[in-house]
């Protein structure tokens, strides 16, 4: 038998008239015990209110912007429990705090400020105050550093649990010394935070106001820390890429949104909030990530709002003899481009293999004719022709995304970039109009661009305008690899060394020359099914080159 239960705001400590900033459920929603119903925010804490019962929401009693207190009705639930059992539990709940009530954070209580002897500064320890029943609470922000001046009640740290975010205020005014807490630490009541060096206090007898203020004024700090009398000290913020990225104020977000942002590596100070009073929602974080990626990945690599952890600085000389060697100019340029492409493109790599037994026999049969034409006919021109035919069949592979990521630009020309290993590093010259040339012409173009690449004579235009790239390691070795898409292209083909394998022909095993290859592609443009169709079609073309004339 179901019953209607009124859910009231549980004990939330010493907070009064706390504002409702998010309503996480609506009429008709099913909730389980401990599912969050509301998000409240005070000056010092953000907290989510869990449901003490399971059931279906019938009616909301609050709206965003309301200010509520312990015992105020939140909503009504239709519970599936038996009426008698529900009444008994309700009576018990009236006398015993629920688990969710015990979890609600009390306001962090500032420590009583000891009175320093007149005229003497004092160094006072600061510890984690009473934060309720929470244990091993994670530090998500450290808002001050050694040398910072703080006033009483200025926030020092931000802590976060599954249900609440709370700031720890300073119990004293003075200068921060010996900060012992770092982001990621887990703390409990009584753990040391830092020390506060208080300022010298004037004797109690009345003095002229101007003279008293002069005695109470602190020693002049370094120029970078100067501030007007009574001005609040600025909090430390995460490192920003440029002045225009500087935050306008505190980032307001629920614990779930903060956790979601940290998982994506997003600094919430840079995310504009669209919720009530500038509240940051999960959708705001997602939109910010999309915009940042659409603007280009260099901002990511440079340590902007989307920040990746930097590698640790290690003094390798302590382990033995070392030698430092400058990276070549080409490797620096290509390395930055590949890094940005890897971070900015959601890669998928499809692996396949092709039976090139007949194709290789055909190529060898053309050796004499190729010599008369003055070219060295390798496997690459045949691969380029097959790849061009596959791109005509699947035009989404011969495309690029528009800068805003909203449109697909289909190309009517077909140019292929060929990765060339040079003494100075990897270079990718482009062979143009592959679909309009024969294998001898392509062999001649390959000889030309490869020679100029190794001699360092390529012009910038020789490496622009590619539609897709080929990276072949077959002449070196290996079985499979995952090439990085050469943006703004949407796919790259990686070719490995062919080898003889036994293949079943229906009646017996026979030796066949099998060439493994891999296709990496931009998953924003090409889905998995399209990738498999493309590699399967390319494998068929390489297995029977006569298909190219169909």
Residues serving a catalytic function are 523
Q: What are phi and psi of 280, to 5 degrees?
A: -90, 125
Long-range contacts of 406-411, Cβ-Cβ distance < 8 Å, separation of 24 or more: 408/525, 411/467
DSSP 369: H
- How far is it, in rounded angstroms, from Cα 399 to Cα 402? 10
Any residues with CB less than 8 A from the CB of 286 and at least 6 apart, and which?
none
Q: Spell out a b/e string for 291-310, using b for 16 or more CB atoms within 10 Å of the CB, else e.
A: ebbeeebebbbeebbbbeee
306 and 446 in contact (C-beta within 8 Å)? Answer: no
Establish whether the linkage from the previous residue to 488 is cis, with ω within 30° of 0. yes
Helix 357-365 vs helix 528-543: crossing angle, to nearest 10? 50
- How far is it, in rounded angstroms, from Cα 374 to Cα 440? 9
Tell me the two tokens of residue 106.
Answer: 């009390």
State the DSSP string of 127-173: E----TT--SEEEEEE---TT-EE-TT-EEEEEE-SSEEEEEEPSS-
- How far is it, in rounded angstroms, from Cα 202 to Cα 215? 6
Any residues with CB less than 8 A from the CB of 227 and at least 6 apart, and which?
149, 233
412 and 479 in contact (C-beta within 8 Å)? Answer: no
Tell me the two tokens of residue 316.
Answer: 């390798």
- How far is it, in rounded angstroms, from Cα 496 to Cα 507? 29
Considering only CA atoms, which of 37, 34, 43, 39 is closest in space to residue 14? Answer: 43
Based on C-alpha coordinates, what's the Rg of the chain? 34
483 and 520 in contact (C-beta within 8 Å)? Answer: yes
| Adjacent-strand bridge partners of 353 | 516
85 and 16 in contact (C-beta within 8 Å)? Answer: no
Backbone region of residue 74 per phi and psi (left: phi > 0; alpha: psi in -120 to 50; beta: other values): alpha
Considering only CA atoms, which of 462, 436, 467, 438 is closest in space to residue 451? Answer: 462
469 and 418 in contact (C-beta within 8 Å)? Answer: yes
List strands edge to edge, sheet with 55-60: 3-8, 73-79, 55-60, 30-31
- How far is it, in rounded angstroms, from Cα 360 to Cα 427? 27
């Amino acid at each position: 038998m179901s019953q209607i239960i009124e859910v009231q705001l549980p004990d939330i400590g010493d907070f009064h008239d706390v504002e409702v900033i998010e309503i996480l459920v609506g009429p008709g929603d099913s909730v389980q015990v401990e599912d969050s119903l509301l998000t409240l925010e005070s000056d010092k804490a953000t907290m989510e209110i869990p449901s003490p019962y399971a059931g279906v929401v019938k009616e909301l009693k609050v709206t965003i912007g309301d200010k509520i207190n312990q015992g105020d009705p939140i909503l009504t639930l239709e519970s599936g429990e038996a009426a008698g059992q529900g009444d008994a539990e309700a009576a018990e709940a009236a006398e015993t705090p629920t688990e969710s009530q015990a979890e609600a954070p009390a306001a962090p209580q500032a420590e009583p400020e000891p009175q320093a002897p007149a005229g003497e500064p004092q160094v006072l320890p600061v510890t984690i105050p009473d934060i309720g029943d929470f244990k091993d609470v994670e530090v998500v922000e450290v808002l001050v550093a050694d040398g910072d001046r703080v006033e009483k009640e200025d926030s020092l740290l931000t802590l976060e649990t599954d249900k609440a975010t709370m700031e720890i205020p300073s119990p004293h005014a003075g200068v921060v010394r010996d900060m012992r807490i770092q982001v990621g630490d887990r703390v409990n009541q009584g753990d040391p935070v830092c020390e506060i060096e208080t300022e010298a206090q004037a004797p109690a007898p009345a003095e002229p106001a101007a003279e008293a203020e002069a005695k109470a004024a602190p020693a002049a700090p370094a120029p970078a820390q100067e501030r007007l009398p009574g001005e609040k000290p600025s909090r430390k913020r995460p490192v920003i890429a440029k002045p225009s990225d500087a935050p306008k104020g505190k980032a307001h977000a629920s614990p779930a949104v903060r956790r979601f942002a940290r998982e994506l590596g997003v600094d919430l100070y840079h995310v504009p909030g669209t919720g009530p009073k500038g509240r940051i929602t999960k959708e705001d974080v997602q939109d910010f990530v999309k915009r940042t990626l659409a603007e280009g990945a260099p901002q990511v690599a440079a340590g902007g709002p989307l920040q990746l952890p930097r590698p640790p600085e290690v003094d390798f000389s302590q382990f033995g003899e070392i030698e430092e060697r400058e990276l070549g100019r080409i490797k620096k340029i290509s390395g930055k481009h590949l890094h940005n492409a890897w971070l900015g493109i959601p890669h998928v790599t499809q692996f396949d293999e092709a039976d090139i037994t007949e194709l290789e026999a055909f190529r060898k049969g053309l050796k004499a004719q190729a010599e008369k034409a003055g070219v060295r006919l390798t496997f690459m021109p045949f691969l380029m022709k097959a790849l061009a035919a596959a791109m005509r069949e699947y035009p989404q592979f011969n495309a690029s995304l528009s800068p805003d990521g909203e449109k697909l630009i289909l190309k009517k020309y077909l140019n292929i970039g060929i990765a060339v290993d040079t003494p100075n590093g990897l270079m990718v010259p482009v062979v143009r109009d592959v679909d309009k040339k024969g294998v001898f012409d392509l062999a001649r173009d390959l000889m030309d661009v490869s020679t100029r690449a190794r001699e360092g004579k390529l012009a910038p235009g020789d490496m622009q305008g590619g539609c897709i790239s080929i990276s072949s390691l077959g002449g070196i070795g290996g079985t499979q690899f995952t090439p990085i898409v050469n943006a703004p292209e949407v796919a790259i083909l990686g070719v490995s060394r062919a080898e003889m394998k036994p293949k079943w022909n229906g009646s017996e095993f026979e030796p066949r020359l099998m060439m493994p290859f891999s296709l990496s592609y931009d998953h924003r443009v090409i889905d998995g099914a399209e990738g498999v169709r493309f590699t399967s079609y390319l494998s068929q073309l390489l297995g029977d080159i006569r298909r190219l004339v169909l």
